[in-house]
Amino acid sequence: MAKFKFVKISKKKKIRYLFNSSYSDIYLVFLHGFKSDLEGDKPKTLYKFCKKNNIGFLAFEYSGHGKSYGKFEDGTITSWTKDAYKIIKKKIYGKKIILVGSSMGGWIGLNLFKFFDKNILAFIGIAPAPEFLDKLMWKKFTNKVRKQLIKDQFYIFNHGGFEYNITYNLIKDGKKNKIFNKIFNNKIYLTILHGEKDDVVPISISRKIIKIFKKAKKKLIIVKNGDHSLSKKNNLKRVMREIKYIHNNLTS
């Protein structure tokens, strides 16, 4: 397994990343989810897969995640998108990109189209969750929780065994990063894998993403018995299969 490294994206800001250089012009960029990091099975499995198949690879942790700079509570979708933009520009400027976005990483990935529109050849979503802060949190919070968030600017809640520190600033910023009011005319490969038993992000979100990409080669895969993370070995094999299929088509 490769060692994690750090890259400076400004004088005081360091981001932890995993990287596999390649002579190929195509790099796979993995974008992890909300409060996740590079220690999980997905980034490690993807790294090994890319190394074995001579594909360039880049994965990193946004600010406040894992061992990257900053506090999680200071981060927003806008700032995490900027983190992604800066490290991609610094490490693989000008390269062609296969974006793989998991959950919130799918939202970050969709945001990156405005920066790397001509470089992105494919987008693979793993239960992508654009606009989740509004649709899956704010709108489902009770009035009591909403009032507390506005008053205290902060709220901690538990879901699925995980603790989430939510700031009102994060909620407000999420509303500035709308995706579903856009149309994407990119002629790319678009594949979304979504667990049949995902109890975090509804499959309807993935269907909406499919609809806003008008000219892509589109595929929505509902993974039987799959959960939200799709991190089990058989699910990860399915993800690899789709990546290999797309990469082979891009290089043939």
Task: Give 62-115 pLDDT, tens digit per residue.
Answer: 999 999 999 999 999 999 999 999 999 999 999 999 999 999 999 999 999 999
Q: Please give the model's pTM, rounded to 2 decimal places.
A: 0.96
Rounded percentage of the chain residues whose pLDDT exceeds 90: 88
Task: Determine, yes or no, domain membership for 55.
Answer: yes
Same domain, 125 and 90: yes
**Poorest-confidence range of 115-129, 146-160, 211-225, 234-248?**
146-160
Q: 53 in helix, strand or coil?
A: coil
- Three-class DSSP category at 121: strand
**Residue where a domain stops, chosen among 144, 176, 208:** 176
Q: Is the pLDDT of residue 54 over 70?
A: yes
Mean pLDDT of 20-39: 94
Last residue of a domain, one of 116, 144, 176: 176
71 assigned to some structural domain: yes
Q: Do both 117 and 235 map to the same domain?
A: yes
Task: Quote the pLDDT of residue 251.
Answer: 92
Q: Taking residues 37-58, what's their average pLDDT?
A: 94
Tokens 């789709």 locate to: 242
Per-residue confidence band for 161, with pLDDT thresholds at 50, 70 and 90: low
Pair 199, 164 in one domain: no
Cα separation, 238 vs 145, in Å, equals: 39
**104-111 and 77-92 are packed helices; what angle lies between their axes, rounded to 10 degrees?**
60
Tokens of 143: 């009035």
Nearest alpha carbon to residue 172 among 140, 134, 130: 134
Same domain for 113 and 88: yes
Residues 222-249: pLDDT tens digits? 999 999 999 999 999 999 999 999 999 9
Q: Which domain holds residue 156?
A: 132-176
Predicted confidence (pLDDT) at residue 159 exceeds the cutoff of 70: no
User: What is the Cα–Cα distance from 44 to 173, expressed in whole angstroms?
Assistant: 30
Residue 1 lies in a domain: no
Residue 169, C-beta contacts closer than 8 angstroms, at least 6 positions apart: 76, 153
What is the model's pLDDT at position 36? Answer: 94
| CATH number where 226 lies | 3.40.50.1820
Instruction: Kindly give, in sequence order, each residue whose CB lies less than 8 Å from that of residue 71, ignoring residues fewer than 6 positions away.
Output: 64
